[in-house]
């Protein structure tokens, strides 16, 4: 910043003035210090003030430590206490103004990105729920209003004003849509039996999309929900639309609110935590698939003017959902998604989810998602594809230091080896899983590893036509150990949930 030197001088002077007023007895309450900071520190320059305060604190501490004159030492002590007060009120100022600064910065980032046609990507990054301090709904609304105000200001090109206005309108429409849907978030659950809960069912009959299509009054999300209700092709639906960035933002906001609302509700089903976990898993995957289908639709919509930005935006939404899912305690490292997905729908899910993961960097969350895809593809009779998923997940998990995920993939590689008839490799993977799980105290991983080891040894003995009863007895013993440990893990989980 060109004015950094003058700002630094100004902020050093402000700090010195507050200390001087404190020493003179002119500061009678902390609120006075806070108000001086409010009046004296400009928005967006907090880092400069913080550095100035840090420098003055260091100087005051050094003076206190080195001063031998008692009077001067006493003054240095009072000055340091005054600066500690400034520091405390500065933290308070930051807490109150951080949200405004974050939103102001987001608006500027979006405007700058419009020139590179990356404003949708920037918007989705700013609103990513995986950020340390994700934006809440009130901040979403503030962001929409700030963008709206920016569109009315001078100095922007007509094209930029149009894009900013579209995004602002999309945000505000999404909040309006959610306000209409919030009271009907789970109403559809009471219209069907518990055995039918999920995102599959007879097209046009019950289910969440039908209930939500009846309540939302905005044409784009309503049309999408109707398509999902009837089991229609989302890919074809995209091809029939002419969607703007604002339409995308509206859909993104509504779908995110629905997804997060459902998961929060399902996670609170304490009377049946297993049902709640299955429904949460179904929700995560269901919304991921919708976004992946939208991505495929935009990729094929050659007439769509912003097709590349919209396609990438869909993949970005998919990855954000999957990364949130991978951080949940019930993330199924050892399978378990088949309660809500089956047949062709599961095959489509795996196909859709595979593509956005190819674009993701090697993160811990990616390793866990690849683990889930690998176990699912093996269950569908695709061991070679499963092998590729698990080998990649193993490498990423090891680099990320995720030992639980590493053990899970060693176990899955063992099972995949049995499926492919490579029993020696299966035994090797299982042995490694046993060793690592015991080192890390991963009891569930150890139980699976013992079972896999015994299972692999039985198949190898059969393949070699070995009739030695000791071999089978040893393998059966490993299977029994795995079973016993699995039962202990299950009992411990029940006790924790009780």
Cα 202 to Cα 461: distance, rounded to the nearest angstrom: 47
> How confident is the model over 481-491, as pLDDT tens digits?
656 666 565 55
What is the SS3 assignment for 58?
Answer: helix
The lowest-confidence range among 140-149, 269-278, 364-373 is 269-278
Specify the pLDDT at position 204.
55
Cβ atoms 8, 52 nearer than 8 A: yes
Q: Please give the structure tokens belonging to residue 333.
A: 């490292």
335: alpha, beta or left, given left = phi > 0 and alpha = psi -120 to 50? left
Q: Give CA 90 to chain center in angstroms.
A: 31
Cβ atoms 289, 352 nearer than 8 A: yes
Let me know the angle formed at the C-alpha of 125 by 236 and 245, rounded to the nearest 5 degrees. 40
Could you tell me which residues come within 8 angstroms of residue 317 by beta carbon, excluding any fewer than 6 positions away? Answer: 124, 252, 255, 256, 291
Query: What are the distances in angstroms from CA 167 to CA 246, 325, 450?
Result: 5, 27, 54
Domain boundaries, the chain: 4-114, 137-360, 385-498
| Gyration radius (Cα) of the chain, Å | 29
- Closest residue by Cα to residue 475 from 450, 447, 438: 450
Q: Please give the structure tokens belonging to residue 313.
A: 């935006």
Q: State the pLDDT confidence band at 94, using cuts at 50, 70 and 90.
A: confident
Could you tell me which residues come within 8 angstroms of residue 26 by beta carbon, excluding any fewer than 6 positions away? Answer: none
Q: What is the mean pLDDT of residues 259-271?
A: 83
Q: What is the mean pLDDT of residues 117-142?
A: 91
- Closest residue by Cα to residue 86 from 45, 54, 59: 54
Cα 49 to Cα 83: distance, rounded to the nearest angstrom: 13
- Closest residue by Cα to residue 212 from 246, 251, 247: 251
Q: What is the mean pLDDT of residues 438-462?
A: 86
> How confident is the model over 415-449, as pLDDT tens digits?
999 989 999 999 999 999 999 999 999 988 988 89
Query: What are the distances in angstroms from CA 399 to CA 159, 238, 258, 395, 410?
Result: 45, 39, 34, 6, 15
157: alpha, beta or left, given left = phi > 0 and alpha = psi -120 to 50? beta
Compute the half-sphere exposure of residue 21: CA atoms within 13 Å on the CB side of its CA. 16
Specify the pLDDT at position 304.
83
Fold category of 385-498 in CATH: 1.25.40
Could you tell me which residues come within 8 angstroms of residue 374 by beta carbon, excluding any fewer than 6 positions away? Answer: 385, 386, 387, 388, 389, 390, 393, 409, 412, 416
Specify the pLDDT at position 474.
64
Could you tell me which residues come within 8 angstroms of residue 300 by beta carbon, excluding any fewer than 6 positions away? Answer: 235, 238, 239
Q: Is pLDDT of 340 > 50? A: no
> In terms of pLDDT, which residue wins out, 62 or 3?
62
Cα 77 to Cα 82: distance, rounded to the nearest angstrom: 9
Cα 36 to Cα 440: distance, rounded to the nearest angstrom: 53
> How confident is the model over 178-229, as pLDDT tens digits?
999 999 998 887 765 544 555 554 455 557 899 999 999 999 999 999 999 9
């Amino acid at each position: 910043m060109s004015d950094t030197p003058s700002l630094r001088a100004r902020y050093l002077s402000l700090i010195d003035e507050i200390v001087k007023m404190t020493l003179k007895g002119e500061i009678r309450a902390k609120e006075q210090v806070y108000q001086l900071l409010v009046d004296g520190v400009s928005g967006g320059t907090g880092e400069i003030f913080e550095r100035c305060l840090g420098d003055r604190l260091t100087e005051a501490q050094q003076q206190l430590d080195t001063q031998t004159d008692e009077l001067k030492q006493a003054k240095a002590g009072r000055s340091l206490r005054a600066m500690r007060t400034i520091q405390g009120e500065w933290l308070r100022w930051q807490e109150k103004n951080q949200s405004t600064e974050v939103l102001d910065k987001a608006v500027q980032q979006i405007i700058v990105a419009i020139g590179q046609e990356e404003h949708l990507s920037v918007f989705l990054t700013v609103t990513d729920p995986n950020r340390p301090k994700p934006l809440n709904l009130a901040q979403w609304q503030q962001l929409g209003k700030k963008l709206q105000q920016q569109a009315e200001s001078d100095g922007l090109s007509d094209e930029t004003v149009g894009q900013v206005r579209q995004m602002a309108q999309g945000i505000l429409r999404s909040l309006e849509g959610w306000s209409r849907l919030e009271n009907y978030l789970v109403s559809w659950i009471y219209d069907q039996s518990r055995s039918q809960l999920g995102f599959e069912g007879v097209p046009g009959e019950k289910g969440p999309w039908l209930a939500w299509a009846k309540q939302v009054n905005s044409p784009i999300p309503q049309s999408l929900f109707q398509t999902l209700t009837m089991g229609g092709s989302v890919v074809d639906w995209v091809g029939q639309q002419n969607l703007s960035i604002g339409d995308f933002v509206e859909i993104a906001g509504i779908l995110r609110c629905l997804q997060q609302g459902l998961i929060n509700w399902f996670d609170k089903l304490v009377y049946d935590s297993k049902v709640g976990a299955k429904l949460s898993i179904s929700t995560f995957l269901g919304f991921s698939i919708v976004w992946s289908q939208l991505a495929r639709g935009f990729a094929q919509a050659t007439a769509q003017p912003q097709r590349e930005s919209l396609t990438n935006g869909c993949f970005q939404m998919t990855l954000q959902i999957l990364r949130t899912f991978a951080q949940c305690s019930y993330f199924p490292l050892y399978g378990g998604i088949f309660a809500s997905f089956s047949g062709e729908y599961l095959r489509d899910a795996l196909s859709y989810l595979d593509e956005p993961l190819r674009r993701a960097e090697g993160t811990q969350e990616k390793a866990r998602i690849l683990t889930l895809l690998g176990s699912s593809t093996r269950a569908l009779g695709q061991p070679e594809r499963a092998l590729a998923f698990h080998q990649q997940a193993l490498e990423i998990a090891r680099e990320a230091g995720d030992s639980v995920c590493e053990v899970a993939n060693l176990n899955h590689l063992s099972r995949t080896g049995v499926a492919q008839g490579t029993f020696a490799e299966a035994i090797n993977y299982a042995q490694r899983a046993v060793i690592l799980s015991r080192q890390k105290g991963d009891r569930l991983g150890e139980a699976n590893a013992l079972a896999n080891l015994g299972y692999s040894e039985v198949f190898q003995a059969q393949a070699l036509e070995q009739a030695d009863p000791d071999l089978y007895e040893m393998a059966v013993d490993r299977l029994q150990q795995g079973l016993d440990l699995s039962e202990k893990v299950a009992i411990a989980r029940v006790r924790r949930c009780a």
